[in-house]
Amino acid sequence: MKRDDATFIEMWNAGTDTDVLAAHFEREPKTIIGWATRLRQRGHDVALRVPRLDASEVKKRKCMGCGKQFRSMHVGNRLCSFCGDHAGRNSHLEGVTR
């Protein structure tokens, strides 16, 4: 593991704010959560955080599964809660994955 990764994990797990982490590691703030996710996927003990929602990010979007409008919490959220819970199990969602 790289030295930066070890320091990052320690700071992340201590609850350090993502803006502080970005400044410390001289990265863009939007890359910090991705860094934590990649480390977790590689098997490192990285705490799972629930992102703070900026009201400007919560928008009504059309579900890619059923076509209904729903409140999407972030740009990558394209399935309503029903379709997200049932993706892969319903024929009307063929080809749609989480």
**Tens-of-pLDDT digits for all 98 residues of the chain?**
678 999 999 999 999 998 999 999 999 988 998 899 899 899 999 998 866 666 666 788 999 989 999 988 777 788 888 887 766 554 454 555 55
| 63, burial (CB in 10 Å: exposed 0-12, middle 13-18, buried 19+) | buried
Beta partners for 70? 61
d(CA 98, CA 46) in angstroms, rounded, equals: 22
Q: Output the pLDDT for position 20.
A: 94
Cβ atoms of 11 and 4 closer than 8 Å: no
Which run of H or E residues covers position 71? strand 69-72
Q: Output the pLDDT for position 89.
A: 52
Q: Output the pLDDT for position 62.
A: 93
Cβ atoms of 27 and 37 closer than 8 Å: no
- Report CA-CA distances (Å) from 26 to 3, 20, 52: 15, 10, 21
